[in-house]
Amino acid sequence: MIIPPLEFEPRLLHTLWGGKRLYGLKGIPAKNLTIGESWEVSPMAEIPSIVRGGELSGISLPQVMQRFGQEIMGEALCEKYGKKFPLLIKFIDAAEDLSVQVHPGKMEEGEEAKRLSNTKNAKNEIWYIMDATPEAEVIYGLSQDTTPHELINYAIEGNLFELLRKIPVEAGEVYDNPAGTIHAIRKGNLILEIQQPIDVTYRLWDYDRIDAESGNKRPLHLTEAVDTAILKRCTKRNVPYRAIPNSATLILEKEFATIEMVWVSQQKFDYEPPFSESFAVLVGLSGESIVSTNQGIEMNIRRGKTVLFPASGMPLKISSNSEGHMLAISLPSPTPLV
């Protein structure tokens, strides 16, 4: 069986801080319910992606992976990851501030951070800013060096923001958010998030908000957060890149994911990921792009549309009747050159 490109039903999640921009982005009639997240590609057992259309329609991504994992990821990546898809990709609409939080896991080499004994729970993230209001910003690390005792005291006393580094953001920017970085998405942001599929988050501050279902404040995890947080002053900014027409520009290659900016302008060109044996998830950012697999299966990708192109369908041919931009998400080689 030829595995076609896979489009999934959007899994919309109501949140305390969500808005209504995801209805328009996904072409869904708006409702009164605020939506904070649209899970685009999810291997998570509790909220798995469900294939939309084609012979595999109605089947979950975990089920597809069990049957066709090697066709989707390629032999080398299947040997590394098994038959679990190794990324969670989602849109986030922040009408209000998200909690100040940190994720655990294996730290990047050379960073001043602790290494948890259970490194399989690593949760690294990459943010692509889809849209941002003029006042939008993110919390991205600490503004000064601190200690575990000081961090906990500031959080308990409600003064945590004095330690946090706040950065204005603009559409098109990319942020590398490794495990251990204290961070928060603040109101006004519409973000594409690429992360490792681990549901572990430690909250440091949540604005004393009340959960509508429980009637209580959402719990904080100060001890766990301090055990994994990077406590040195953060100086990182957005990842610089310069897109080139009719090509794919490498933006960032991490151990868990590679992202590129694909810009097509009325000229057809071939595309394959930097690690040519990988799949590619293409996310429409603007305009409309036409993408064809090596089996001749064609997909149109507009802003807000997410499609998983299996490794077996590479290389792709990309064109447009006008102009289109996409973010390409893939995996690096499982055996990188030393």
Mean pLDDT, the chain, integer = 92
13 within some domain: yes
Q: Kindly report the CATH number assigned to the domain that includes residue 19.
A: 2.60.120.10
Instruction: Report the pLDDT value the prediction gives residue 1, as an integer from 0 to 100.
Output: 80
For 34-38, 121-125, 257-261, which range has the lowest pLDDT when averaged over its residues?
121-125
Last residue of a domain, one of 194, 228, 262: 228
Tell me: do 55 and 13 sit in the same domain.
yes
Q: Where are the alpha helices (DSSP H) in the chain?
A: 21-25, 61-73, 75-81, 148-156, 222-228
Q: Is there a single domain that holds both residue 58 and residue 117?
A: yes
pLDDT in tens, 219-231: 899 999 999 999 9
pLDDT band per the 50, 70, 90 thresholds, residue 47: very high
What is the rounded average pLDDT of the residues 46-75?
Answer: 96
* Domains of the chain: total: 2
**Residue 59 shares a structural domain with residue 208:** yes
* Same-domain pairing of 157 and 297: no
For residues 201 and 251, state if they share a domain.
no
**Assigned domain for 110 exists:** yes
Same domain flag for 163 and 16? yes
Query: Is residue 336, in this structure, part of any structural domain at all?
Result: no
- Residue 237 resides in a domain: no
Per-residue pLDDT, averaged over 157-165, amounts to: 94
For the stretch 257-272, pLDDT in tens is 999 999 999 889 999 9
Looking at 177, 199, 228, the residue that finishes a domain is 228
Mean pLDDT of 125-150: 97
CB neighbour class for 313 (10 Å; exposed up to 12, middle 13-18, buried from 19): buried
Same domain, 143 and 54: yes
Strands 174-177 and 88-93: unpaired
How many Å apart are CA 139 and CA 236, to the nearest integer? 12
Does 143 score more than 50 pLDDT?
A: yes
Residue 252 and residue 224 in one domain: no
- Give residue 336's pLDDT: 62
Q: Does residue 44 sit within a domain?
A: yes
| Same domain? 208 vs 303 | no
Is residue 162, in this structure, part of any structural domain at all? yes
Q: What is the pLDDT of residue 121?
A: 59
What's the rounded Cα separation, in Å, for the pair 282 and 305? 8
- The residue segments making up the domain with residue 268 are 247-330
What is the reported pLDDT for 225? 94
Q: Do 59 and 197 sit in the same domain of this protein?
A: yes
Q: Tell me, what's the pLDDT at 107? A: 46
Segment 182-194 shows an average pLDDT of 98
Active site residues: 203
Q: According to the model, what pLDDT value does residue 120 have?
A: 53
Give dist(CA 173, CA 176) in Å, integer: 10
142-156, 236-250, 324-338: segment of lowest average pLDDT: 324-338
As a whole number of angstroms, the distance between CA 204 and CA 211 comes to 16
- pLDDT tens string 82-105: 999 999 999 999 999 999 999 987
Q: Is residue 97 in some structural domain?
A: yes
**pTM over 0.85, yes/no:** yes
Q: Is the pLDDT of residue 337 over 60?
A: no
- Average pLDDT (285-308) is 97
In a domain, 233, yes or no: no
Give the C-alpha distances (Å, rounded to integers) separating 97 from 44, 139, 206.
25, 10, 9
pLDDT digits 0-9 by tens, 168-181: 999 999 999 999 99
Report the SS3 class of residue 294. coil
Which of 228, 257, 272 represents a domain boundary (last residue)?
A: 228
| 154 and 16 part of one domain | yes
Check whether residue 281 and residue 218 sit in a common domain. no
Please give the single-letter amino acid code of residue 167.
I
